[in-house]
Structure 1
Amino acid sequence: MASLPQLNRFFLTDAGLETDILFNKGIDLPHFSSVTLFASDESLDVLDAYYRGFLDLARRMGTGLVLESATWRASPDWAEPLGLSLAELDRLNGSAIELLRGLRAEYADVPTVISGCIGPRGDGYDPGRIMLPDEAQAYHAHQAGVLAAAGADMLAAITMTTIPEAVGIANAAKALGLPVAISFTVETDGRLPTGDALGDAIAAVDAATEDYPAYYMINCAHPTHFDGILDADAAWTARIGGVRANASCLSHAELDAMTELDIGDPADLAARHRALIERFPRIRVVGGCCGTDLRHVTAIAEACLAP
């Protein structure tokens, strides 16, 4: 998928949208679903301002920006818990892409890619019931189709915890002819929550999809959790094109139990990102995940782009 500009130049993306909105902005997110921000003009204004911060940063730093839609927890199973019909949830998915298209038009000088975000069917930390790839494809095809129809340039499967679900989303994107990035989450030992090695997961998805994903990412983990498993000489490591790290060094279980946000050390996080991209220059998309906000991504951008 050579049409994606982030394959050839440095791009930023946003931070931990849900944790930023919930803890820093004080806005409740039922079931941790940011698509609920479209329910009121006030919360929508907060979301709009959130994206503008990263667009302003990308403009200042002279980078591109992957605009990730606020749809991580907006697939069909979440309609009922959110008190919505499937048609209403579909409209919110469409509105999430529409917001990004409007911002791209306004920031026409910033190279921007609109990414339709798809989260796991269940929990982002716990794999729960593991679907077969065909079941995962059938399930995620609905949201993928809505995001594609609304005008997403690509899809991103964020916080993937299992190989079969990642395969299913990749095949759903393939059926639509849209590029897709697959982002796995790992535990403190660098392995998926299922115990699979990250390299094995990437190789398995590539084998099952004829290398369809445009690139892979790692997200929802601190660099100390995965830096040691990355092998510069391994073919699978060359497939990693982005990192969206957590601010905290804590495990998923520890983070799940916390009632206050752990923002970690932005300067240390930034330095670790610079070291990563120096070792692995194919990592061209950087942003943040849980606990991060504009401060962290600013520090990362400044560190990575410093002479």
Structure 2
Amino acid sequence: METYLIFHEGFELPLFASYPLLGTAEGRKRLRTYYRRHMIIAADCGMGFVLESPTWRASRRWGEQLGHDAVELRRFNLDAIALLSDLRAEAPQGKPCIVSGNIGPRGDGYRPDETLTAEEAEAYHAEQIGWFAETDADIVSAFTITTVAEAVGIIRAAKKKSLRTVVSFTVETDGRLPDGTPLGEAIKRTDAETDGAAEYLMINCAHPDHFRHAVAAGAKWLERIGGIRANASRLSHAELDAAEELDDGNPAELAGAYDELLDMLPNLRVLGGCCGTDHRHVAAIASACRHHNPQGVPV
């Protein structure tokens, strides 16, 4: 969402935060347009949809840098879910439409917050998760998580609020987390330290070429991967950080990679895009992968 709004629609989003758009009528209008475009793609392909809130940066550490206190941040998070609940009413009947409260890492989504313990992560994220617990959110989804400790803390905090959780790991060009942990080890440790409490785990913010080798082994832990939101670009995170122009890759090529991943990952059911992707990529993915999806589960 953020790369699309910045590079295609000309928005300025300090700290890559889209949640402040909820504060204006024009911003809310643009967000609705963005979501509706993707909902139509899912409906046309007979698939369900996950409405992911624009709150990746709407937690205390990032909000304070943007000039928002806890009262304002709570309101942004509640307003985000209210907007998605309204949009859900427009979704076709008979297909799943899930409202997800989205959270991001306490630190940078490209660099590991190595000082954060699971206990500290739980305490930090409990605030935003608590706000989601006041709403109609069906699930909490944490994206661009760079360490097992933070993943564990998020899952524990959500469990205490009786909210289902999904955690999505950032991986580098070598298929490992930014702190060097192999993807399989990260998934196994996260489950071991939370009694497998997450609904499923995901990979995001990397091109399929970066992690294909890691998921090609046929290991048991692959069954825990339920979603992929890949980058269209093959650039590393360091290269993406320094880029002044958007690398939006090739939608058809990316869709073909997703089709291959569906053959490798037995429980993969949530498909989307991360940096550099937009409705063109999602439409191509949905079209290429619809034959895997007879039940119309979310894309």
Question: Structure 2: how far apart are the matches of 1:206 and 1:281?
Answer: 18
1:105 correspondence with 2:89: yes
Letter in 2 for 1:217: M
Instruction: Give the TM-score normalised by the residue count of structure 2.
Output: 0.95
CA change 1:262–1:53 in 2 (3 A) is: same
1:133 correspondence with 2:118: yes
Question: Structure 2: how far apart are the matches of 1:33 and 1:218?
Answer: 21
Question: Which residue number corresponds to residue 83 of structure 1?
Answer: 67
Distance apart, 1:106 and its partner CA: 2.2
1:73 correspondence with 2:57: yes
Letter in 2 for 1:72: W
1:196 correspondence with 2:196: no
Partner SS, residue 65 of structure 2: coil
1:296 correspondence with 2:281: yes
1:33 correspondence with 2:17: yes
1:226 correspondence with 2:226: no
1:149-188 equivalences under 5 Å are 149-188=134-173
Partner SS, residue 64 of structure 2: coil
1:59 correspondence with 2:43: yes
Question: Which residue number corresponds to residue 14 of structure 1?
Answer: none
Question: Which residue number corresponds to residue 47 of structure 1?
Answer: 31
Letter in 1 for 2:182: A
Distance apart, 1:150 and its partner CA: 1.6
Distance apart, 1:306 and its partner CA: 4.4
Mind listing any 5+ residue stretches in structure 1 that lack a counterpart?
Answer: 1-16
Letter in 1 for 2:238: A
Distance apart, 1:102 and its partner CA: 0.2
Question: Which residue number corresponds to residue 13 of structure 1?
Answer: none
Could you list the per-position Cα deviations for residues 178-206 of structure 1 after superposition, in whole angstroms to 9, with x for gaps in the alignment?
11111001000000000000111111110
Letter in 1 for 2:164: P
Question: Which residue number corresponds to residue 296 of structure 2?
Answer: none
- Root-mean-square deviation (Å): 1.1
CA change 1:259–1:38 in 2 (3 A) is: same
Structure 2 residue corresponding to 1:209, chosen from 191, 194, 199: 194
Of residues 255-264 and 121-130 in structure 1, the stretch that sits farther from structure 2 once superposed is 121-130
Distance apart, 1:42 and its partner CA: 1.0
Structure 1 residue corresponding to 2:222, chosen from 237, 241, 253: 237
Q: Percent identity among equivalent residues?
A: 53
Letter in 2 for 1:235: K
Could you list the per-position Cα deviations for residues 126-159 of structure 1 after superposition, in whole angstroms to 9, with x for gaps in the alignment?
1134311011001100000101212110011101
Letter in 2 for 1:56: I
Letter in 1 for 2:8: N
Mind listing any 5+ residue stretches in structure 2 that lack a counterpart?
Answer: 293-299
Report if aligned partners of 1:116, 1:148 keep a CA contact under 8 Å in 2.
Answer: no
Distance apart, 1:232 and its partner CA: 4.6
The answer to which structure, 1 or 2, has the higher relative contact order (CA under 8 A, 6+ apart) is: 1
Instruction: Give the TM-score normalised by the residue count of structure 1.
Output: 0.93
